[in-house]
A and B are shown apart, each in its own frame.
Chain A
C-alpha cells in the first residue's frame, strides 16, 4: 500500500512570506495529524483531523497557521506570514482508526527554512 505523501520535500522562503504544504494520507485513514519538528526535538502536534473535522488544534498558532482537510482526504497546512522560528520539518501522519489504539504512519516531511 502507498504511504503518506507530502510535498514539497524542501522549501526555503524569506520571513514574512507565505508557504503551503500538502499531504495525501494513506487511503481509508480517518485520522490525519500535522506535526512540527524542530531540529533536536520531538514532534509537536499542531492539528489533528478526524475525517474532515478538527479534533485538536490547541497548539496551532492560529494567527499565522491554518490547515484544512478537503473532503476528509488530502490536507494542506499554510503559514502566513512566516517567521524565522518556523524553520522546522513539518510532518504529516495518518492512522486508520480513531486513536488511541493504533499506530500513526508518517510521511517524509517538508523541511522548511525561513531566512
Chain B
C-alpha cells in the first residue's frame, strides 16, 4: 500500500521561509507532487519531482530524496495569500496517485 506523513499544522511569519516535509511509503514510486488548497477551493498543482534534487518555481521550491523516501516544499518570502493547506502526493504503482493528509499553513503578520 501507500502512506504519506506530513505535519498537520505550521505557522510562519509573513516574509519568512517555511519548509513542509513529507515522508512516504509506497510499493512503487514514480514521483512526488505538491498541491495547494485554499479553504473551500480545489487543489491546484504546484510542483512535481521525479528525480532527486531541488526544483525551483518562483517563490516555491520542492526537493526529493528517493533513497530516503522524503521530500519537502519550501516557500520563500511568505505572503498572507499563502495561507492554505499543502498536500504531497505520490505517484506509485499502477498509476495510482495518493495524497497525504495535508499541512495547514497559517501565515501571520
Check A41 against B45 for contact (C-beta < 8 Å): no
Query: Beyond A45-B97, A55-B95, A106-B43, is A100–B30 a contact (Cβ under 8 Å)?
Result: yes
Q: Which residues of B contact A105 (CB under 8 A)?
A: 45
Interface flags for A29-66 (1: CB within 8 Å of B; 0: not) read 00101010000011111001010000110000000000
Q: Decide if B102 touches A56 in the complex (CB within 8 Å).
A: no
Q: How far is the CA of A102 from the CA of B50 in the complex (A)?
A: 10
- How many chain A residues touch B (CB < 8 A): the figure is 26
List B residues at the A interface (Cβ < 8 Å): 30-31, 33, 41-45, 48, 50, 87, 91-92, 94-102
Binding site for B on A (CB under 8 A): 31, 33, 35, 41-45, 48, 50, 55-56, 91, 93, 98-109
